[in-house]
Structure 1
Amino acid sequence: MNVNGLIQPLETQVVEQMSVQIYADRNQMGRAAAAAVGDRLRQLLQDPEHQVRMIFAAAPSQNELYDGLVQEKDIDWSRVCAFHMDEYIGLPDEAPQRFGQYLTERLFSRIQPGRVELLNGLGDAKQECQRYGELLRAAPIDIICLGIGENGHIAFNDPPVADFNDPLLVKKVKLDEACRHQQVNDGCFARLDDVPEQALTLTVPALMAGKRLFAIVPGALKRQALKAALHDPISTACPATILRTHPGITMFTDREAFGL
C-alpha cells in the first residue's frame, strides 16, 4: 500500500533499539530502504561543508536497495566517499565475484561517488588492513548499508571469528564453511571448492561505529538467521544479534525472511 507516494510496510516492530519494517516482497523492501537512505543522504548534504562517508555491503540481498538508490533524486553523489565492508583474499582483479567489482558495476559506476575506497584482496593482508583502517578512522562514518548472512554474520564476521570488542577496524579472517556455502547458494560460485577460504573484513566495532545503519535482509534463506538476530541472546553465536543494541538502526525485510 502506498501513502503519499511512500511504500508502507505490512508490519513494523521494535526489537530493543532496532526498528524492523516488514514488506510484502523484496522489491517493495528495496524501494522503501532506498527511500530511507536517500532521505538521510539529503539531510546530511544540506550542510554544504559536509562530505558523507558511507559503507556498502556487496551481496545479492542488496540488489533492490542499490537499484532504488540509483533512482533517488537530488543527491549530490560527488560529495559522498564510499567504502565497502569486505573482500575475498586472492581473487584476481578481473574475477566477477570480487566485492569491489560487484559494487562498481551495481552501484558506483551508476551514481559516480566523489571518492571510492576499495579493499585490495591481493598483496600483503596486514598492510591492507592497516591502510584501510586508517581511512575509516579519519572521520566518522555517516551511513552503513549492510546485510545478514545465513549463519548470522555481519560483513565476514562469522561466528568463529566475530569479536564484539575487536581492537581492530579491519582484519583477515578464515571463512566459516556455512558462509562459503552461502556464496554458492547466492549463485556467486559454482562449487564450494571455488569459494576462497580467507577474506578481509571490517570488524564488528567498525560497523557498530556507523551513525546510521540500514540493514537489508530479504528472502526465505535468511529466515533462520533473521529469527536468531531478533530473538536469540546477544552473542557471537549469531553476530547479527549485536545490531539490536545500535541506537540508529532500521532493518528492512520481507514477508519471506520474516515469516509473516
Structure 2
Amino acid sequence: MHTNILKNSIELGQEAARYSADIINDAIDKNGKARIILSTGASQFDTLKALIKEDIDWEKVEMFHLDEYINLPVSHPASFRKYLKERFIDKTNIKDYHLVNGEGDIKEIIEKLTIELRREPIDLGLIGIGQNAHIAFNDPPADFGTEEAYIVVNLNDTCKRQQVSEGWFASIDDVPDQAISMTVYQIMQCKHIVSCVPSKAKAKAISDMFKNPVTNQVPATMLKMHQDVELFLDSDSASLL
C-alpha cells in the first residue's frame, strides 16, 4: 500500500482522479476497454467530480458499484443508484454500467450482477473506507470467508450514524437495516485499488487500519494484503497517523 497525503479533499480528489485516469486509459490502450468499480458516499464527491473531467473515452468503460440499500427506492436521496446517475452517469457518455438494485428479487439480482461482474477481470476499484473501517458495506465483523461476489449484509449502528451525519437520512431509525454489498473477497480481485478517504471523521478508521493486523473487526485492514493499493488521504484523515 502506498499512501498519499494531500492538503484537503479537493486536492485529494484531483490527484486520485489523475492517477485513476492513467489506469483506466492504460487498460483501454491494452484491451480496448476498461472495467471499473465505483464507491459512493460523501467522501467520494471530489474524486468523482475530478474524474469525470479527465480525458477518458467513457464509451470504452464498463462500470459496476459496491452496494445499495435493500428496499430503498431509487428516488430516495440516499440511493446509490440515484447518486451515480446524477454525479457520474449523466455527466459522462458511459453506456455500459450495472447498478445494484435493492428492490425486487434480491437473490436473482445478485446472481445476474455476479455473472456480469465476473465475465472479465476488473481493472480498477475505487474503494472508500467508512468511519467503522468498513469497505463497501462490510461492517465489522466482516465476512472474510465468503467467495461470493455480492451478499446481503446487516448495517451496524456506527455505519447508520455515519449515513445520518452525512445528511442522507434524518435519523438512525430511517436508515435501512440491510444492504446488498460487494464482498471483501470480490473487492480484493481488482487489479488496482484506489482508496480515497478524506475528512477528520475517518481519522480513527485510518489509524486503526494501520495499527492493527488483518482482522475482520477492522475490515479495511484487508486492503494491506492487496498487491496494488494507492491510498489517498487529506490532512484531516491522516491526522492520527
TM-score, scaled to structure 1: 0.90
**Percent identical residues:** 37
Deviation at 1:42, TM superposition (A): 1.6
Deviation at 1:230, TM superposition (A): 1.6
- RMSD over aligned CA atoms reads 1.1
Q: Give CA-to-partner distance per residue, 1:37-65, whole Å, 9 cap, x none.
A: 11111211213x52211110111100111
Deviation at 1:35, TM superposition (A): 0.5
Deviation at 1:215, TM superposition (A): 0.1
Structure 2 residue 51 is the aligned partner of structure 1 residue 66: no
Runs of 5+ consecutive residues of structure 1 not aligned to the other structure: 1-17
Contact 2:147–2:186 (CA under 8 A) maintained in structure 1: no
Instruction: Report what 2:70 is aligned to.
Output: 89
Deviation at 1:131, TM superposition (A): 1.4
Structure 2 CA distance for aligned equivalents of residues 112 and 208 of structure 1: 28
Contact 2:25–2:34 (CA under 8 A) maintained in structure 1: no
Instruction: Report what 2:190 is aligned to.
Output: 210
Contact 1:129–1:172 (CA under 8 A) maintained in structure 2: no
Structure 2 CA distance for aligned equivalents of residues 236 and 172 of structure 1: 17
Q: Give CA-to-partner distance per residue, 1:46-99, whole Å, 9 cap, x none.
A: 13x5221111011110011111112112x1100101111000001112112110
| Equivalent of 1:54 in 17, 36, 39 | 36
Contact 1:51–1:80 (CA under 8 A) maintained in structure 2: yes
Contact 1:129–1:170 (CA under 8 A) maintained in structure 2: yes
Deviation at 1:186, TM superposition (A): 1.0
| Equivalent of 1:178 in 158, 166, 173 | 158
Contact 1:126–1:172 (CA under 8 A) maintained in structure 2: no
4+ residue runs over 4 A deviation: none
Tell me, what secondary structure is at the counterpart of 1:22?
Answer: strand
Greater radius of gyration (CA): 1
Instruction: Report what 2:93 is aligned to.
Output: 112
Tell me, what secondary structure is at the counterpart of 2:158?
Answer: helix
Q: Give CA-to-partner distance per residue, 1:86-120, whole Å, 9 cap, x none.
A: 00001112112110110111111111213010011
- The within-5 A match list for 1:91-170 is 91-160=72-141, 162-170=142-150
Structure 2 residue 28 is the aligned partner of structure 1 residue 39: no
Deviation at 1:133, TM superposition (A): 1.2
Runs of 5+ consecutive residues of structure 2 not aligned to the other structure: none
Structure 2 CA distance for aligned equivalents of residues 66 and 116 of structure 1: 16
Structure 1 CA distance for aligned equivalents of residues 59 and 167 of structure 2: 32
Aligned length: 240
TM-score, scaled to structure 2: 0.97
